[in-house]
Amino acid sequence: MRKETILSLMEQHNPIILGSESFSKFSVLLPLIEIENELHLVYEVRAESLRRQPGEICFPGGKIDKTDESPQFAAIRETTEELKVNSNQIESVYPLNYLVSPYGMIVYPFVGFLTVNELPAPNEDEVSEVFTVPLSHFLSTEPAIHKVEFEAHPEENFPYELVPGGKNYTFRKRVYEEYFYPYKSYSIWGLTARITAEFVKLLKQQQSERDV
Looking at residue 212, what is its pLDDT? Answer: 60
Q: Determine how many CB atoms are found less than 10 A away from the CB of residue 138.
A: 22
Q: Strand 105-114 to strand 90-95: parallel, antiparallel, or no bridges (unpaired)?
A: antiparallel
Looking at residue 49, what is its pLDDT? Answer: 82
Is it the case that residue 80 has pLDDT exceeding 80? yes
Note whether residue 44 is domain-resident.
Answer: yes
Q: What is the dihedral of CA 110, 115, 118, 121, to 10 degrees?
A: -50
pLDDT (mean) for 144-156: 93
Note whether residue 3 is domain-resident.
Answer: no
Note whether residue 4 is domain-resident.
Answer: no
Q: Which helix (H) or strand (E) holds 145?
A: strand 144-150
Query: How far is 15 from 78, CA to CA, in rounded Å?
Result: 28
Q: Determine the structural domain holding residue 155 and report its residue range.
A: 23-211
Give how many domains the chain has, as a whole number.
1
Residue 28: which CATH number?
Answer: 3.90.79.10
